A and B are shown apart, each in its own frame.
Chain A
Amino acid sequence: MKRLFPLVALLLAASPASAQKLEFNRDIRPILSDKCFACHGPDAKNAKSDYRLDTFEHAVAEIDGVAGIVPGKLKESELHWRIHSDDSSEVMPPPESKRNLTPAEIALLDRWIEEGAEFQDHWAFVPIPKTVPVPEVAPGWVKNEIDTFVLAKLEKKGFAPSPETTREKWLRRVTFDLTGLPPTLAEIDAFLADPSPGAYEKVVDRLLASEASAERLTAEWLDVARYSDSYGFQVDGDRFVWPWRDWVIRAFKENLPYDQFITWQLAGDLLPNATRDQKLATAFNRLHPQNVEGGSVPEEFRLEYISDRVHTYGTAFLGLTMECTRCHDHKYDPLTMRDYYGLSAFFANIDEAGLYSFFTPSVPTPTLWLPDEKQESEHARLTREIAELEGALAKRAVEAKADYETWLSARKEPATLPKALADHDFERLEDGTFPNLADPNKPAKTSPNNAQADGRRGKALKLTGDDAVTLGVGNFSRDDSFSVSLWMQTPDRKARAVVFSRSKAWTDAASRGYELLLEEGRLVAALVHYEPGNALRVRTKEEFPVGSWHHVAMTYDGSSRASGLRLFVDGEPAGLEVVRDRLTRGITGGGSDTIVIGERMRDSGFKHGLVDDFRVYDLTLSPAAVKTLASDGKTFVPDPAEFLARHDAASLDLQAKLAAKRKERSALVEKIPEIMVMEEFDGEPRKTHVLERGSYLSPGEEVAPATPAFLPAMPADAPVNRLGLARWTVSPDNPLTARVAVNRYWERLFLHGLVATAEDFGSQGRPPTHPDLLDWLARDFMDHGWDLRRLLKQIVLSATYRQSSNVASGELATIDPENTLLYRYPAPRLTAEMLRDNVLAVSGLLVPKVGGPSVKPYDIALSFKPSTPDKGEGLYRRSVYTYMRQTAPSPLMTTLNASKRDVCQVKIERTDSPLQGLVMLNSPQFAEAARVLGTKLAETHAADDAALVEEAFCRLTSRLPDEEERSLLVGLLAEQQAHYQEKPAEAEALLSNGGSAPSKSAHPARAAAAATLVSTLLNFDECISKR
């Protein structure tokens, strides 16, 4: 039976293989890979057979006295008999695999065995040769080395390249390819008028140096980087990542060498003395979708993010399909699960959460601050002043020793406990409230399910674990000093229980606020901006006793340091471990602004826990005061801390100044934007495990960071972290990175890559049409400092690129319908970005502003999750700036085949659909552009129809119409003008489409007619394709 898509037959058709010896990589590997490797390939562990066909040694090995292949001896080769068998229990591939061999494939395999069954290493995994010889070809047509490879292959097949295209067409191609915009009339005229030999090069240099070129290169990189302005998944809230996009634009504008472009994005944060841009570049690894759906398991999604980084890394830089190896060894390529999780380990060690915060707009950690210059200097000043005040306070503490003694001896009365903000003894429960002995206006409210129980003395509070007791106080900032004192008893060793918190929720608010927990039996206190990466968290070394009453105090001094957060048990300072010591932003907000005892949203409550004598203070309790509370005392002998905190005038003055200064800094920090980036976690490195079947529930063997074993090893001196990975990736010994890069840019310019499967350089990918050219380009790219501009320039100046796009008639067209010989320029349709930018450019509506927040053109109002479009300039910016919401992208752009950006995409899709025509004829963006340009044309050419048509045609196709084209368009103009003369109201309506002021014209009927002419041409092949 024949296959529907005879891939192999096509390859054969393109290469008269019958004349020459078969070539494994070209002729045989695709068959073995596709039809056999699933069971006889590299995934030995899961294969149903011991027999392997992925290397020569395996293929000729005898198993139970039978050899699969005996080179040169067809009749002795089991493989031969199996693929010819009529017996359904014997035939290979087995019928249930549903992967039949075609007769042509069977014949090829037989011939290959007869010819000696030679294997080749997979072309993409062998080193890129140090030098690639340039073929000798006849001079004349050739413009640079690229052409020699193309011509050599054409000549070998007995064909010639296509004639050179016109200057106008080349200029249009190259201008779109390098800038994403059409050439202006002035640029066309200038080029046509320049007879110098360097005219082409001059154009290319001009284009490559432009901002527009950086924007164009950025647009396609955003697809690779799965860039979007929202988090994705189901809720898909907005996220702040456009500064990364602007960095990409800067990088292309400065022609940052491509190896550095990769290195910065993978590991810029790890470069010595990393600059802000180098750190910013690493946001690349955080652009994957992120989840916030309530009730999701954070670890499941944290691992999903890491996987996305690995997949994106694999596809974008190595052209490897890593996805397969998440659950099992690769079926086609020599990649293992260990390789997958070894790569994962590079990307795992950041202090991140699996879910982002629903209740606060905080940016998921780790982050990079992006202050403007003024904010930066203000922040430095405040930090310095705070340090000075802290120094002064510490100095005063030392100096005050004598004053303390004097003060103490002069005192006649013992000290009393400070006044609390809240004081609950839980003795009385009235109408669901517990009175606050410190402030009757702020009682605590409880759900009726929580009960009173016999307490330490009198009554205590008994918690269900699902029901809250909500106090009237507790909205402290990180700059406030505060303390909480309570008696508590836990009935059992808690794996996790919230004793109290000032926090809306656990994962749903990234724990924003402060909290006291029992975790694995130990007390944990924390102040949190965003869990886990922006928090202070301390944990007692000892487990909290079970089944008995104990006094607990949590005190905090407003310093935003872990050392300022203390726990006391039974009046004594508890031995603490610091879990996190990085709190740089606020802890208020998110809702639930007062202390809640016993429960938190979607967290484990203090089930059957007992709480008594709960007191809240707006100061740091001194150890002496805590001790007093723990012994039910009322008065005590003040210790030095008590003296400094409450009685020493000099300290009090410094404390007040310090608090004010800290609040000033916090107010400033609030306004400094921050963005998700990569930053190695400085604590115990996060462990990575092989996950059985890819499931987060089944962690297996632990793995260290490692590059895939079948590829060259990491440089010996490279650190085993992302920086080492980056250095390995761009090492000249890496066989993939440069090949993948030059191929992707080739594809951008020629519709298809030299390797048609730009996303897969493995066994299942298509082999390169011009392997030597690919290697030459890759080597040349590396030898010249990974200079992307130079690469692009080489290609667009080649004779290959300058060919006509006309399809050949006769034999060539039959043999090579896909143009794998590169005998012509392929005439790809413009990308979605180019189509939209083109109408903005030709109409003059384009606002050429570079960078900044994403904008919302008209059609965002019609997306699946509509939002209000911008007014004014936001409607007319280049498409690279269009707001991209993952679950509801711009419908105009997706209709025109823009990438969906939920996963890394390296290929530009182009499929025609009638819906595209509707968009390009009817949408306000296109209709407005048509009437604006139409009006201009009608003003310039008030009487001369032919002149109007010529200018319109030239603006939209970069050439003049021929006689036939002109006359039919003049006909259209005349018909439409007559129509609008009869219907002036329609003309007026047409000239009002879009958001800009209606077009004013002395000749409205002519302007409207010209608008329909423009609209027609905006849909003409030569306007929407590069011919």
Chain B
Amino acid sequence: MNHCTGHLPAPSRREALTRFGGGLGGIALASLLGKAEAAGGSPPAYFTGQPKAKRVIFLFQSGGPSQMDLFDYKPRLNAEQGRELPEEIRMGQRLTGMSGNQSSLPLVGSPFQFAQHGESGQWFSELLPHTAKIADEITVVKSMYTEAINHGPGVTFMQTGAQIGGRPSIGSWLSYGLGSMNENLPNFVVLVTKDKKGQPLVSRLWGSGFLPGEHDGVRFNPDKDAVLYLNNPAGLDTASRRRMLDRLGELHRIQLAKSGDTALETRIAQYEMGFRMQASIPEATDFSGEPEATFKLYGEDARTPGTFAANCLMARRLAERGVQFIQLYHQGWDHHGGLPGGLKTQCRETDQASAALVTDLKQRGLLEDTLVIWGGEFGRTNYCQGKFNPANFGRDHHPRCFSMWMAGGGIKAGHSHGLTDDYCYNIVEDGVHVHDFHATLLHLLGIDHERLTFQYQGRHFRLTDVHGHLVKEILA
């Protein structure tokens, strides 16, 4: 930082806090609080002071994984296979335009075997052999529900707490609320599995909405430039860049002295952080030092940049380096048809690495303060979409119940939460709305979801809108 500020007025508390509000170039909460106190203030009111998790890894499974084929065992569907969805179960609730005009809605059971695992005795389908092995580490929430029935609104709701785009994503809220724990890496990193087909994702899912742009998620690519224009242009080496930045810093210090504008201090710091990122990001994304055991754990896919497995490993490396919110996306769960084959592929791509991440974090002592989340935007219907064919069928979108799992960071180990009916259509016990999920996530990070607000267009916006209840039953 700059040392020529002797003759300058101290920045006001408001200014200091605005400037150090977080995100890239922001500073850690501990430090933020220190600053606030030094400036005569108190910790932000939204901070509960009791965070259980310091960071989050969200393994988002885009498209809507089928809960009754993976987690939520429903033998009755197999027993009643081929029968019409009973009207007393459906209760006239809306369907999508894809199957809503179908003349028949025949129930279809899961073609996959289920068994109980671990001391907790949690049920998993045969498609998740690795997840089954961490049964005693995770909480499976069987009673998630949402309001959206199509992908665009559904994914947006899960990621921002609103169905229509334009609101800040979870990671942006955390960046805004907690500041950065890291001076060398972005605070909120996004990793998308490469070359997956399926329902499209959109960049505003990790956008900061109306929060300042510094809270945008930063997407890491499995390309030459992990971050947009990270590398120097051709013909410019590190020594030249260092000389340029030294001179630039000197120019800025002269300007600071002339103008008295403390915004220049930020500017100087930003260029220095950019320079550090040019070294720290390649270091963080370089797997060459990982031992063979790592690839055994995560699977051979982890050697191929851009795969889900590689992104899980990357997430662990970023978590180790203090990145606060790591958002993975894996597309391809939208099984309107060909579900039996499609699910096998999806699980082959994700099961081992997801479980490996939890195992790896645990053996490194990071799981206790890292929250890992696995799940999608909604579930799938118990009836088959299109013609009934038990060998090769599809399921439509289902918002009324779906399953997610969470681990670490203050979450109960070896626990199952919530109950759906025998048809896996409605929730009968302990429903967890998307807003509840968000409220709980924020709580685990030491944030009161009702107090973390940002005033925009006159309104105090929250991630949880005016809703959301803490799900105490899943807290360790």
Nearest to A760 among chain B residues (CB) is B458
Bits for A728-767, please: 1 = Cβ < 8 Å to B, else 0.
Answer: 0000000000000000000000000000010110111100
Given the complex, which residues of A lie within 8 Å of B199, measured CB to CB? 234
User: Complex: how many Å from CA A827 to CA B27?
Assistant: 25
| Contact in complex: B233, A909 (CB < 8 Å) | no
| Contact in complex: B229, A922 (CB < 8 Å) | yes
Consensus secondary structure, chain B interface:
loop
Q: Which of A294, A887, A987 lies in contact with B204, CB distance below 8 A?
A: A887
Chain A contacts with B in 630-660, Cβ cutoff 8 A: none
Contact flag A234-B151 (CB < 8 Å), given A894-B216, A900-B207: yes
| Contact in complex: A912, B233 (CB < 8 Å) | no
User: Complex: how many Å from CA A763 to CA B458?
Assistant: 8
| 6 other A-B residue contacts (CB within 8 Å) besides A814-B9, A886-B204, A915-B186 | A296-B152, A331-B459, A817-B14, A918-B228, A918-B229, A969-B251
A158 touches B (CB below 8 Å):
no
B297 to chain A, nearest CB (A): 30
Chain B contacts with A in 229-256, Cβ cutoff 8 A: 229-237, 239-241, 243-244, 247-248, 250-252, 254-255
A236 touches B (CB below 8 Å):
yes
| Contact in complex: A321, B457 (CB < 8 Å) | yes
A2 to chain B, nearest CB (A): 5
User: Complex: how many Å from CA A280 to CA B166?
Assistant: 27
Nearest to B97 among chain A residues (CB) is A295
| Contact in complex: A466, B41 (CB < 8 Å) | no
Bits for B179-211, please: 1 = Cβ < 8 Å to A, else 0.
Answer: 000000010000000000001111110010000
User: Complex: how many Å from CA A1002 to CA B159?
Assistant: 56
| Contact in complex: B24, A993 (CB < 8 Å) | no
Give the bracket for the number of chain B residues in contact with chain A: 35 or more
B267 touches A (CB below 8 Å):
yes
User: Complex: how many Å from CA A217 to CA B277?
Assistant: 36
| Contact in complex: B270, A897 (CB < 8 Å) | no
A642 to chain B, nearest CB (A): 40
B12 touches A (CB below 8 Å):
yes
User: Complex: how many Å from CA A965 to CA B257?
Assistant: 13
B368 touches A (CB below 8 Å):
no
| Contact in complex: B451, A909 (CB < 8 Å) | no
A630 to chain B, nearest CB (A): 29
| Contact in complex: B271, A862 (CB < 8 Å) | no
A283 to chain B, nearest CB (A): 21
| Contact in complex: B101, A602 (CB < 8 Å) | yes
B397 touches A (CB below 8 Å):
yes
| Contact in complex: A323, B457 (CB < 8 Å) | yes
A911 touches B (CB below 8 Å):
yes
Given the complex, which residues of A lie within 8 Å of B203, measured CB to CB? 863-864, 887-889
B122 to chain A, nearest CB (A): 32
Contact flag A979-B240 (CB < 8 Å), given A98-B450, A233-B152, A922-B232: yes
| Contact in complex: A918, B227 (CB < 8 Å) | yes
Q: Which of A324, A333, A807, A1019 lies in contact with B261, CB distance below 8 A?
A: A807
User: Complex: how many Å from CA A6 to CA B166?
Assistant: 27
B31 touches A (CB below 8 Å):
no
User: Complex: how many Å from CA A837 to CA B100?
Assistant: 51
Given the complex, which residues of B lie within 8 Å of A990, measured CB to CB? 233-236
Given the complex, which residues of B lie within 8 Å of A304, measured CB to CB? 164
B262 touches A (CB below 8 Å):
yes
Stretch with Cβ within 8 A of B (4 or more), from A81-89, A264-272, A970-978: A970-978
| Contact in complex: A1021, B264 (CB < 8 Å) | yes
Stretch with Cβ within 8 A of B (4 or more), from A336-344, A603-611, A778-786, A788-796: A603-611
| Contact in complex: A806, B259 (CB < 8 Å) | yes
User: Complex: how many Å from CA A859 to CA B227?
Assistant: 13
B151 to chain A, nearest CB (A): 6
Give the bracket for the number of chain A residues in contact with chain B: 35 or more
Given the complex, which residues of A lie within 8 Å of B8, measured CB to CB? 807, 809
Stretch with Cβ within 8 A of B (4 or more), from A56-64, A517-525, A559-567, A1008-1016: A1008-1016
Given the complex, which residues of B lie within 8 Å of A184, measured CB to CB? none
| Contact in complex: A988, B235 (CB < 8 Å) | yes
Given the complex, which residues of B lie within 8 Å of A1019, measured CB to CB? 248, 271
Chain A contacts with B in 677-709, Cβ cutoff 8 A: 697
B408 touches A (CB below 8 Å):
no
B351 touches A (CB below 8 Å):
no
Nearest to B216 among chain A residues (CB) is A894
Question: 5 smallest A-B Cβ distances: which pairs?
Answer: A990-B235, A764-B458, A989-B235, A887-B202, A234-B152
Most buried by A among B149, B216, B230: B216
User: Complex: how many Å from CA A864 to CA B218?
Assistant: 11
B270 to chain A, nearest CB (A): 5
| Contact in complex: A922, B231 (CB < 8 Å) | yes
B84 to chain A, nearest CB (A): 14
A362 touches B (CB below 8 Å):
no
Chain B contacts to A: CB under 8 angstroms: 7-9, 11-15, 17-18, 23-25, 36, 41-42, 44-45, 94, 96-104, 149-152, 155, 164-166, 186, 199-204, 207, 212-214, 216, 218-219, 221, 225, 227-237, 239-241, 243-244, 247-248, 250-252, 254-255, 258-264, 266-267, 270-271, 273-274, 277-278, 386-387, 396-397, 448, 450-451, 455-460
Given the complex, which residues of B lie within 8 Å of A10, measured CB to CB? 12, 14
Given the complex, which residues of B lie within 8 Å of A968, measured CB to CB? 247, 250-251
User: Complex: how many Å from CA A993 to CA B231?
Assistant: 13
| Contact in complex: B97, A917 (CB < 8 Å) | no
Nearest to A806 among chain B residues (CB) is B259
Chain A contacts with B in 657-685, Cβ cutoff 8 A: none
Q: Which of B152, B234, B255, B271 lies in contact with A993, CB distance below 8 A?
A: B234
Nearest to B276 among chain A residues (CB) is A914
User: Complex: how many Å from CA A909 to CA B240?
Assistant: 32
Given the complex, which residues of A lie within 8 Å of B240, measured CB to CB? 976, 979, 1012
Nearest to A916 among chain B residues (CB) is B270
Given the complex, which residues of B lie within 8 Å of A909, measured CB to CB? 212-213
Nearest to A99 among chain B residues (CB) is B460
Contact flag A992-B234 (CB < 8 Å), given A315-B457, A607-B103, A918-B227: yes
User: Complex: how many Å from CA A348 to CA B329?
Assistant: 37
Q: Which of B14, B25, B103, B152 lies in contact with A5, CB distance below 8 A?
A: B14
User: Complex: how many Å from CA A756 to CA B259?
Assistant: 24
| Contact in complex: A332, B274 (CB < 8 Å) | no
Given the complex, which residues of A lie within 8 Å of B252, measured CB to CB? 1020-1021
| Contact in complex: B45, A4 (CB < 8 Å) | yes
User: Complex: how many Å from CA A863 to CA B221?
Assistant: 11
A-B contacts, 28 listed (Cβ < 8 Å) = A2-B42, A233-B165, A293-B150, A294-B97, A297-B94, A297-B149, A324-B458, A466-B102, A607-B103, A760-B458, A764-B455, A764-B458, A807-B9, A887-B200, A887-B203, A888-B202, A902-B166, A917-B274, A921-B241, A923-B229, A965-B254, A969-B247, A972-B243, A989-B235, A993-B233, A1012-B240, A1021-B252, A1027-B259
User: Complex: how many Å from CA A6 to CA B266?
Assistant: 22
User: Complex: how many Å from CA A116 to CA B131?
Assistant: 68
User: Complex: how many Å from CA A11 to CA B278?
Assistant: 42
Given the complex, which residues of A lie within 8 Å of B13, measured CB to CB? 6
Nearest to B203 among chain A residues (CB) is A864
Given the complex, which residues of A lie within 8 Å of B228, measured CB to CB? 859, 862, 891-892, 895, 915, 918-919, 923
A136 touches B (CB below 8 Å):
no
User: Complex: how many Å from CA A321 to CA B456?
Assistant: 9
User: Complex: how many Å from CA A757 to CA B458?
Assistant: 8
| Contact in complex: A964, B254 (CB < 8 Å) | yes
| Contact in complex: A605, B101 (CB < 8 Å) | yes
Given the complex, which residues of A lie within 8 Å of B155, measured CB to CB? 234
Contact flag A295-B98 (CB < 8 Å), given A4-B45, A764-B459, A809-B9: yes
Given the complex, which residues of B lie within 8 Å of A763, measured CB to CB? 458
Given the complex, which residues of A lie within 8 Å of B244, measured CB to CB? 921, 972, 1012, 1015-1016
Chain A contacts with B in 11-45, Cβ cutoff 8 A: 34
Given the complex, which residues of A lie within 8 Å of B251, measured CB to CB? 965, 968-969, 1016, 1020-1021
Given the complex, which residues of B lie within 8 Å of A919, measured CB to CB? 228-229
Nearest to B448 among chain A residues (CB) is A98
User: Complex: how many Å from CA A315 to CA B457?
Assistant: 9
Bits for A903-916, please: 1 = Cβ < 8 Å to B, else 0.
Answer: 10000010111111
